[in-house]
Amino acid sequence: MTLRLILMRHAKSDWDDPSLTDHARPLNKRGRKAAETMGDWLRDNHYLPDLVFSSDAARTVETCERLGLSADTRFLSALYHASPMVMMQVLRQGGAAKTLLMVGHNPGIAEFAATLAANPPADPDFDRYPTCATTVFDLPIAGWQDALFGDGQVRDFIVPRRLG
């Protein structure tokens, strides 16, 4: 059996209000457009999650909302600036979902993508994982509890600026 994981970094955040905490920063105009573009890309490519695990920071919540997906979405404080190990622990709680989207922050999301990939794509953007970068992995597992680092087969990788 194969399960699909989609890893996405949040869209570009707004730094204009210095009174906001890091956790409270919303998306800027470019970020809002990028999140909507990525939602269209996910739909166009039939990468539709059954379940979304996202950090509970304002910018990840808004990214998820602007994707426009109709999936069970859980906003988790554990994913706020999470390490790859914490992300793996959260992933293993995916239950019966066949396709799961995880939305997080750098550097953790980039490190998680790199350690999950059996063969990382030869793409310089994969290493930097810019805002709204998205990797689609297929994992040869029967259940999320069986997920291991190095098992992810990269099916697709994209950044919003390539979509127009």
pLDDT of residue 164 exceeding 90, the answer is no
Percentage of residues in the chain having pLDDT higher than 90: 97
Tokens 């291991």 label which residue? 148
Tens of pLDDT, residues 82-131: 999 999 999 999 999 999 999 999 999 999 999 999 999 999 999 999 99
Average pLDDT value for residue range 40-55: 98
Count up the domains in the chain and report the number.
1
CATH number of the domain enclosing 42: 3.40.50.1240
pLDDT confidence of 59, banded at 50, 70, 90? very high
Task: List CB contacts of 50: < 8 A, sequence separation 6 or more.
Answer: 71, 72, 96, 97, 98, 99, 100
Helix 84-91 / helix 108-116 crossing angle, nearest 10 deg: 70
Q: Which domain holds residue 69?
A: 3-163
The yes-or-no verdict on residue 6 having pLDDT over 90 is yes
What mean pLDDT do residues 29-38 have? 97
Q: Is 59 annotated as a binding residue?
A: yes
Averaged pLDDT of the chain: 97
Q: How much is the pLDDT for 47?
A: 98
